Structure 1
Amino acid sequence: MQQALFGGGCFWCVEAVFLQLKGVEKVVSGYAGGVVHNPSYDQVCQGNTQHAEVVLIDFDEQQINYTQLLNVFFTTHDPTTLNRQGNDVGTQYRSVVYYFNDEQMQQAEKIIQNLENDGLNIVTELSPAPTFYPAEEYHQNFYARNPSQGYCNFSIPPKLSKLRSKYLELLKTE
């Protein structure tokens, strides 16, 4: 089992996307990259802990590889807006790839370079994986448990639609 750690706006949105992928065994919403030990959601939302909302992904490399996860990540959020995803504004919503080893760093650098060669101005932070703090239990698997919640209903279906249109072969089968 391998791990990936990504932040691309609200962790509910990112989690909902990655839970759809075959080979993804577990997704945990949480916080990383800040200065407060074991922060709460309220603290992170105030924007002064320096944490990003992130997801920790456990995946089976025999079914899906890190590059495929990166491609999904860069497709299903906007890596060109600094500290913002849609109406979510603040450093906690920054685009970030935290890598666990040199191979992950190199794969992320390559994809970022390819996107920039295509004319995009990528603002995604690329940093070594810091301490990860799981979010409160009510944030875990949030969309699956709250599909009609207003924010989820507005923000997540377009991401899932984009995922299905570009990566159908990577989706879990029922």
Structure 2
Amino acid sequence: MTKFIYILLIVLCATSCVHGQNKIENGDMKYNKLTPEEEFVILHRGTETPYKGEYVNNKREGIYVCKRCDTPLYNSSDKFDSHCGWPAFDDEIEGAVKRLPDADGLRTEIVCANCGAHLGHVFLNEGFTVKNTRHCVNSISLKFIPKQNKMIKKAYFASGCFWGTEYFFMKADGVKHTAVGFMGGHVDSPTYEQVCQKNTGHLETTEVEYDTSKTTYEDLVKLFFETHDFTQTNGQGPDIGPQYLSCIFYSDEQEKEVAAKYIDILEVKGYKVATLLKPVSVFWKAEDYHQQYYEHKGTKPYCHAYRKIF
């Protein structure tokens, strides 16, 4: 019964999350509007590039729902690392996933039982888990709804190319999840290409979800300053432009005071700090291929490096 109530709450949450989005009517059903990239996979049975999907390395607690119709499909407790390049699950929510013979005559396709959205393929008897089942799912076919946790907070930092900013935060103790995107501009739903034109007002920003029982906002602020050149006024390293400026976006007066405190400490140490302090505004998530970029690529940042200051 507890599991049923949790799933029901997640469904309601998913419904509220898409409230106001464009819906497409298909007979008696209404589906979420899809981007061309989502249509390629979900409607035309395409496959996203391995290791590039948003949820490959997602380890947060929650539930995965269908991108097209918001039907709950998988619990995070059934997700495991198969090193195959796509999210993998060894079980589905009962009745949520349908298996079909693939057109290649060899594999078994899996689709959303409610709307028929293509998810990926299922493989058996590989020995990854005791259930001997691997649902190999495209991230782009899913939407993740995190489980609510009062100990988890979010913080937002901009320090040049968001690939490098995220690289250090995602490895920090107490950080549960990171995402890169854009904040501080005047254009809704900006694309990376638009921001690169330097006229949307956005800064490349990293969203950091952290467990307050394991780390503090002060720890994150110190890491922010210790992993980039906060004295540079026109960008970061070789990346020049307004989208690469150093900035801390604060959510409340307490965060603002902490950020200002460390700016004062740095100035006492003789640094001329160029870091901006701005209130949090809408965080627009960047395209999937930007997420956890260096983790997928297996390399290190070219314009960020750690140095002990505090």
**TM-score, reference length from structure 1:** 0.87
Q: Which has the higher contact order (CA 8 A, sep 6+)?
A: 1
Closer, same or farther: CA 96–116 of 1 in aligned 2, 3 Å: same
Match of 1:106 in 2: 257
Q: For this pair of structures, how many residues does the alignment match?
A: 158
Question: Which of 279, 285, 298 is the matching residue for 1:128?
Answer: 279
Q: Secondary structure at the match of 2:219?
A: helix
Closer, same or farther: CA 153–15 of 1 in aligned 2, 3 Å: closer
Match of 2:235 in 1: 84
Q: CA RMSD in A?
A: 1.4
Match status 1:37 vs 2:37: no
Task: Indicate conservation of the 8 Å contact 2:182/2:203, yes or no.
Answer: yes
Closer, same or farther: CA 64–38 of 1 in aligned 2, 3 Å: same
Match of 1:26 in 2: 177
Counterpart amino acid of residue 125 in structure 1 = L
Task: Indicate conservation of the 8 Å contact 2:164/2:301, yes or no.
Answer: no
* 1:76 Cα deviation after fit: 0.4
* 1:123 Cα deviation after fit: 1.0
Match of 2:103 in 1: none
Question: Which of 9, 23, 26 is the matching residue for 2:160?
Answer: 9
Match of 1:69 in 2: 220
Counterpart amino acid of residue 33 in structure 1 = G
Higher alpha-carbon Rg:
2
Match of 1:172 in 2: none
**TM-score, reference length from structure 2:** 0.49
Match status 1:154 vs 2:305: no
* 1:147 Cα deviation after fit: 2.2
Where do 5+ consecutive residues of structure 1 fail to align?
Answer: 168-174
* 1:83 Cα deviation after fit: 2.8
Task: Indicate conservation of the 8 Å contact 2:248/2:259, yes or no.
Answer: yes
Task: Indicate conservation of the 8 Å contact 1:147/1:153, yes or no.
Answer: no
Match status 1:119 vs 2:254: no
Q: For residues 155 and 95 of structure 1, what CA distance do their matches in structure 2 show?
A: 13
Match of 2:244 in 1: 93
* 1:117 Cα deviation after fit: 1.2
Which structure shows the higher strand fraction?
2
Counterpart amino acid of residue 165 in structure 2 = V
Which structure shows the higher helix fraction?
1
Percent identical among aligned pairs is: 37
* 1:155 Cα deviation after fit: 3.6
Deviation string for 1:128-157 (max 9, x for gaps)?
101110000110011010124xxx56345x
Task: Indicate conservation of the 8 Å contact 2:160/2:245, yes or no.
Answer: yes
Match of 2:55 in 1: none
